[in-house]
């Protein structure tokens, strides 16, 4: 059994009635986050134009096509897997929009349930959506409850970080963006780069 697995989770899109057509949550799982962190650091210092280096982080939605593809090609060189869940928002029941945080919890829980985890310890880092302490605690409790229900035999440490403070969160942002790009614009050029590392890709309430 592996000793420790690191999981980083970020999303693309939104859970409002309007806005994006799809909402995507992606997870990057790895036993060795340091090489990925170093890769993102190198990209910032060597690939970004001078004015962009001042930004606190790199993200899929505001990077050039060249940088996006470079980041994705660098990521798949490393020991990691990607887990993805996407929902077609127009298929979401109206009452769930009034409980968006519960819907978010549900999707995160399902994502973790589908993972093939063989490790004694899990470090789970989730992109901080807001500063509401109660909502973060509610999500943490929901995740731990799901783990107990499934009788997973591992310890888990959950933290919520700003993506500007985590290069691995910045990395998984590009994964989520690539999936949303594929679904929303039928542009598979980015997804095809990461596809060999995608372990699970579940579509909830798909329109087809």
Cα separation, 193 vs 74, in Å, equals: 10
Taking alpha carbons only, the member of 37, 39, 38, 29 closest to residue 4 is 29
As to burial, measured by CB atoms within 10 angstroms (0-12 exposed, 13-18 middle, 19+ buried), residue 123 is middle
Q: Say if CB 58 and CB 10 are below 8 A apart.
A: no
Residue with tokens 């035999």: 153
Residue 99 pLDDT:
86
In degrees, to the nearest 5, what angle opens at C-alpha 165 toward C-alphas 69 and 26?
Answer: 50
> Alpha helices of the chain — where are they, by DSSP H?
33-46, 65-75, 100-113, 133-149, 167-185, 191-194
Note the pTM of the prediction, 2 decimals. Answer: 0.93
Residue 125 pLDDT:
98
Cα separation, 29 vs 73, in Å, equals: 17
Q: Which domains, from first to last, does the chain contain?
A: 2-204 (3.30.420.10)
- pLDDT tens, 18-38? 889 999 999 999 999 999 999
Residue 38 pLDDT:
95
Concatenated DSSP letters of 70-104: HHHHHHTTSS-EEEEEEEEGGGS-GGGGGGHHHHH
Per residue of the chain (208 residues), give pLDDT as tens. Answer: 568 999 999 999 998 888 899 999 999 999 999 999 999 998 888 877 665 555 668 899 988 999 999 999 999 999 999 999 999 998 888 877 788 899 999 999 999 988 888 888 999 999 998 788 999 999 999 999 988 887 788 899 999 999 999 999 999 999 999 999 999 999 999 999 999 999 999 998 765 4
Q: Is the dihedral of CA 73, 193, 57, 121 positive or negative?
A: negative
């Amino acid at each position: 059994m592996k000793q420790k697995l690191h999981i980083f989770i970020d999303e693309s899109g939104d859970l409002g009635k309007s806005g994006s057509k799809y909402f995507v949550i992606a997870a990057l799982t790895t036993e060795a986050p340091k090489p990925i962190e170093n890769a993102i650091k190198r990209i910032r210092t060597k690939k970004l134009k001078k004015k962009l280096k001042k930004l606190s982080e790199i993200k899929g939605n505001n990077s050039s096509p060249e940088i996006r593809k470079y980041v994705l090609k660098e990521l798949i060189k490393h020991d990691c897997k990607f887990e993805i869940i996407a929902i077609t928002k127009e298929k979401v029941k109206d009452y769930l929009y009034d409980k968006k945080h519960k819907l978010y919890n549900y999707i995160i829980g399902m994502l973790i349930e589908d993972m093939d985890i063989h490790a004694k310890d899990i470090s789970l880092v989730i992109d901080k959506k807001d500063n509401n302490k109660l909502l973060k605690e509610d999500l943490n409790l929901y995740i731990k409850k799901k783990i107990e229900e499934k009788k997973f035999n591992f310890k888990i440490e959950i933290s919520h970080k700003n993506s500007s403070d985590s290069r691995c969160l910045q990395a998984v942002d590009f994964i989520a963006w690539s999936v949303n790009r594929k679904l929303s614009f039928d542009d598979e050029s980015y997804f095809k780069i990461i596809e060999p590392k995608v372990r699970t890709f579940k579509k909830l309430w798909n329109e087809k």
